[in-house]
Chains A and B, each alone.
Chain A
C-alpha cells in the first residue's frame, strides 16, 4: 500500500483557487478538463498544446468551433473557457511541452500537472519532468469507450514508465519492399511511396525492391540474373524515386507501370523469395484499361466503406497522382507535401496504391475507411469517454490537493457495464517499481547490441531517444578517461555519429553514463556485445519482454498502424513503426496479480476477489480489462446484483 510520507497536506493545502496547475494538451480530454477545472474553482491554470484545430476535432472538443479551424488549440481553449469564467487566470502556450524552455524550474512552479496527451513520447517526457521537479502528475488516456486515469507521485507510486511499455512494432524493410504478407505492409509501403514521391525522402523508407534481402543467397548466378533484369529495365536503376517521377512529370501511367509492373517483375527474378510464398502478379496499366468498366457491385453502406476493385483503384491512383502533382506545383519549387490522413488526395493515393499492391500480393483489398484507420493510426474517440475521464481527473486532483494520496486510485473505464458489473474500476496505486529505469534512485539498464555494427547515431536516435525517451542525451564512456561519445551541444560530437561503438573501444561489458539535463535524468547503460540478434533487430533491452504486448482492445486492433502525425511527438510523422497499443491509452500490461494493495479499503473483499480470480483463472483486474472481449462472450448473462470481482 502506498504510504504517505511527510505532510503532503501541508505541502498542497493551499486553496484550489490559489494553486497553480498545468494542463498538458488541449484536445479531447484537455477541453473537458479545462472546463471542469474552472467550474471546480481552479483559477490559475496554464495550458500547453502545439496542435492547431482540425475539423475532425469539433465532434468532441467542445471549446472549438468551425471558425477556429487552423488556430492554436491552447489559445482558443483559453478564450472559450474565459467566456464562461471570466475571472480565471489562464495562460496558453502554443508549443511543445518537450521544448527545453519548459525546464524543471517551470514544472516546479505548479502544484499539480495533469496530462491530457495523445502520445507516449510526450507522456514519458512529462513523467520525467514531474519526477525531477517532484510535482504530482495525473495521467490519463482514452480510446473509444475505454479510458484510464492514474496518479503519479515520486517515490510513492509507480511512475508512467515503471511498467515496460510494449515497444513499437517495426516491420523489416525487406517485408515492406519485397514480401508483404499483410495489408498493413502494403499500407506502410504506400505511405513510404507518398513521401518518396511528394514528401521528404527518407533512406529508411525505400519502396523499390531490396536486393540485400537476407533471404536471398549470395549466389553469383542470382546476382547476375538480377543485374540483367536491372539493365533491361533502366527505370530500376538507383536514381531517387522522386527525381525519376519528376522527370516523367508525375505521369500516372508511367508511375503505375514502374511500381506495379516493372518493380514486381524485378521482384519475381528473386525467385528464392517465391519458393515458399505465393508469387506476386504484376499489373499492366493498358490491360486494366481494357477490362470492362469496373463492376458496380450493389453495396450497402457508405462510399468509403466500399471496395472498388482493381480498375477502380487504378483510376483512383491516376487521379490522385494528378491532384497531388498540382498541389505540389502550387507550393512552388522544392516544396514538399506532408501526408495527412484527413487530406482527401493524400488519403486517396494511399488507398489506391496500398490496394493495388495488396491485389498484386493476393491479399483482399480494403475499403478507404479501413485503410484510413490503419494508415492514420486513428484512435477512435468520442466525447462521452473524454467527459467521464476528465471528470475523474479532477476528482483525483481534489483528493491529491486535500493531502489524501491514499485515497487516490487508478481508474479504468470499461466499454460496457456487463458482463461483470464493471464500468468504472478503481484500483489502488502501486508503489514504484524498484527496477524502473526512470524513477529508481540509480537508474540502470542493460542493452544487448553488436558494438561492431551499431553506429553512434543509432545509439543516440534509436536507443537513447526513441527507446529511452530522452530529448538531448549526453553520453560519456566509463572507460576511466571519461571519453565523451555524444554531446548535446551542437557541433561537438557530430563527427562521431557515423562511427561504430567499437571505434571508441566500447566492447562487451562497457558502461555508458547517459545524462539528459533537461529531464534531470541520468541513466547508466551496461552494454552486452551480441552477434546473434534476430534479423532486423538492432538492439535488445535485457529484461524487456519482447513482443509480450498486452492484447490491445479488440476494436482497435484493426486500426493499429503507422504512427501518425502526432505533432506533439518527437517521432517523425511517418514511420514504419506500428504501435502495438493505442497511443491514447495508458498501458495496462500488468502481468502480475493485482497488488494486494488494490484492496486496501476492505481486506475482506480483496480476499473474495482473489478467490474469484483463482476460480476463473483470470489474471488481474488490469489484465481483465484487456481481455474483456473473451470474458464478455462467456458472461454476458451475468446479472447478479453484486459481483465481487
Chain B
C-alpha cells in the first residue's frame, strides 16, 4: 500500500499526529517490532509502542509469573501467579487491548546463544530487555549485519541503574533530525544580479547557513523563482545570495522562503565495538563522569552474572565488594575511562535483583521513543548509550539494616531490594 494512501484514525491519534507528523505515523504503521522480556521495563515499552501505533509487535518471554512480578509489571495479576501462567501469555491480551490497530502476538521459546536468529528478519526493530550481555551482542551483531539493518535496542534496568543501547546500522538516514517545522520567512527584496541577494522583511534573521537550500513561494514579479530551491550563501544575518538571478524578472513584492530539510546520516557501531570506547550521553552536568562509571559498573555486573551464573544477592556486602573489584577490572579495559565510583558499584550490587518501578517507567519511555525514531527516521536518535541512575534515592538508606532489603515473598520484594522496607 502506498504510504500516502494510508488513512490515519484522527480521532484516536490526533494529539500524536502533531508530535510525529503523518509521514512518520504511516512509517510506524508499516513496521513490525520484536520485544523480548516481559519484566517491568519490557511491559512499559510494550504499552508505549502499542499505544503509539506500530503495525505489529511480538512479545517474547520464557518465564512464568511470580509474586515478584506484581510489583513491577502492571499487567500481571494475582490470578496469573496462582495459575503459573507464562508472563507473556498473561500480558498478551492486556497489551493488545491498548490499541485495536496493532497486531500483538507472542512467543516463548528460549532465546540464547544457540538460537537461530533468522526469524528476526521479518522485524524492522528488535528490542531486548532482561537479556544477558552475550545474547545481546549476538542478536545485535545479527541485526547489524542485515540488509537493511534491523534496528537494535538493548535496555536493562538493574535496581537503581539503567542503560539503553541503540544500534540502527551503518548508514541510518534521518529525514528530519529536529522535527522542527521550517519557518516561513517573508521577503523584503530580491535583487536581479549575479549573485542575486535576498533580504528578509523587517530585519528578521534568516538563521540559515551557507550550503543550505531554501524554497521560494508566492513571490510577485520575479515569478520564475517560485517553487524552486536554491542554495544559500550567507551574506549577513538578514541577507543571503542565491546564485544568478540576472535573467529573471525584477522582484515586485510579497513572497517568502523556507529552509529545505536535508536528511542526515548517522553511523552506528555494534555493541561489541561500543563496549570499550562507548559513545555516551551525559544526562546530568553535576556528574559528567557518571555515564562512563555506570557503563563500567554495569559491564562488571554482566561479568558477575557470567562468572556466578546469578546476579549479586540483595543487600549482600560480600557480593558488593566483588562487584567493586570487577568494576575496577572492567575499567582497565576501557579506552575511555573515568575514576572508579565504588559507591555506585556497591549500590548496584545490593539492588541489582530489585526493580524500581519509576526508574523502569522513565527508561521504558525513553527506550520507546528510540523505537519510534528507529522506525520513522524522524528526530535524531540516541548515539549510542544512555545511562541513568537513581542513587540519590537509595543513598540515605545506606544506614538501614540489611534485613530491611530481604525479600518477604510479597509483591513489593523488587522494590524492597532497592529502597528497603519502604522507608
Within 8 A of B (CB), among A388-430: 388-395, 398-399, 401-404, 407, 415-419, 421-426, 428
Hey, which chain A residues are within 8 Å of B288, CB to CB? 602, 605, 608, 642, 644
Are the C-beta atoms of B18 and A559 separated by less than 8 Å?
yes
Residue of A39, A416, A605, A629 touching B357 (CB-CB under 8 A): A39
Cβ of B279 within 8 Å of any chain A Cβ, yes or no, is: yes
Within 8 A of B (CB), among A6-22: 9, 13-17
Hey, which chain A residues are within 8 Å of B209, CB to CB? 633-634
Are the C-beta atoms of A417 and B281 separated by less than 8 Å?
yes
A42 to B, closest residue via Cβ:
B422
Cβ of A227 within 8 Å of any chain B Cβ, yes or no, is: no
Q: How far is the CB of A584 from chain B (nearest CB, A)?
A: 10
Q: How far is the CB of B403 from chain A (nearest CB, A)?
A: 15
Q: How far is the CB of A218 from chain B (nearest CB, A)?
A: 31
Are the C-beta atoms of B361 and A381 separated by less than 8 Å?
no
Provide the A485-521 mask, 1 if CB < 8 A to any CB of B, else 0.
Answer: 0000000000000000000000000000000000000
Residue of A378, A395, A599 touching B390 (CB-CB under 8 A): A395
A58 to B, closest residue via Cβ:
B12
Are the C-beta atoms of B423 and A381 separated by less than 8 Å?
no
Q: How far is the CB of A122 from chain B (nearest CB, A)?
A: 19
Contacts A40-B357, A144-B19, A381-B19 given; does A300 touch B286 at CB 8 Å: no
Cβ of A305 within 8 Å of any chain B Cβ, yes or no, is: yes
A630 to B206, CA, bound (A): 11
**B143-151, B173-181, B297-305, B321-329: which lies at the interface:** B173-181
Within 8 A of B (CB), among A338-374: 342, 364, 369, 372-373
Q: How far is the CB of B332 from chain A (nearest CB, A)?
A: 18
Hey, which chain B residues are within 8 Å of A319, CB to CB? none
Provide the A149-177 mask, 1 if CB < 8 A to any CB of B, else 0.
Answer: 00000000000000000000000000000
A604 to B388, CA, bound (A): 21
A633 to B366, CA, bound (A): 23
Hey, which chain A residues are within 8 Å of B422, CB to CB? 15-17, 41
Cβ of A62 within 8 Å of any chain B Cβ, yes or no, is: yes
Cβ of B249 within 8 Å of any chain A Cβ, yes or no, is: no
Q: How far is the CB of B151 from chain A (nearest CB, A)?
A: 16
Cβ of A461 within 8 Å of any chain B Cβ, yes or no, is: no
A425 to B249, CA, bound (A): 51
Are the C-beta atoms of A417 and B15 separated by less than 8 Å?
no
Hey, which chain B residues are within 8 Å of A385, CB to CB? 365, 369
**B45-53, B225-233, B345-353: which lies at the interface:** B45-53
Cβ of A248 within 8 Å of any chain B Cβ, yes or no, is: no
Residue of B16, B78, B97, B286 touching A599 (CB-CB under 8 A): B286
Are the C-beta atoms of A423 and B366 separated by less than 8 Å?
yes
Are the C-beta atoms of A404 and B396 separated by less than 8 Å?
yes
Are the C-beta atoms of A305 and B22 separated by less than 8 Å?
yes
Are the C-beta atoms of A601 and B77 separated by less than 8 Å?
no
**B3-11, B31-39, B113-121, B194-202: which lies at the interface:** B3-11
Hey, which chain B residues are within 8 Å of A32, CB to CB? 361
Are the C-beta atoms of B10 and A304 separated by less than 8 Å?
yes
Are the C-beta atoms of B365 and A56 separated by less than 8 Å?
no
Are the C-beta atoms of A59 and B12 separated by less than 8 Å?
yes
A553 to B, closest residue via Cβ:
B180
Hey, which chain A residues are within 8 Å of B71, CB to CB? 39, 41
Hey, which chain A residues are within 8 Å of B284, CB to CB? 424-426
Residue of B70, B75, B369, B388 touching A145 (CB-CB under 8 A): B369
Q: Which of A393, A417, A423, A643 has the most CB of B within 10 A?
A: A417
Of the A-B pairs whose beta carbons lie under 8 Å apart in the complex, a sample of 14, sorted by A's number, is A39-B357, A40-B356, A55-B12, A56-B14, A59-B14, A62-B47, A382-B20, A384-B365, A392-B362, A402-B393, A417-B383, A629-B178, A630-B207, A639-B383
- Give the 3 A-B residue pairs with the shortest CB-CB distance, closest first: A391-B362, A387-B365, A391-B361
**Chain B residues near A (Cβ < 8 Å):** 4, 7-8, 10-20, 22, 40, 44, 47-48, 51-53, 70-72, 74-78, 97-100, 177-181, 183, 207, 209, 218, 264, 278-289, 291-292, 336, 356-366, 368-369, 372, 379-383, 386, 388, 390, 392-393, 395-397, 411-412, 415, 419, 421-423
**Chain A residues near B (Cβ < 8 Å):** 9, 13-17, 32, 35-36, 38-41, 55-56, 58-60, 62, 65-66, 83-86, 144-145, 300-302, 304-305, 342, 364, 369, 372-373, 378-395, 398-399, 401-404, 407, 415-419, 421-426, 428, 554-555, 558-559, 598-602, 605-606, 608-609, 621, 629-630, 632-634, 636, 639, 641-645
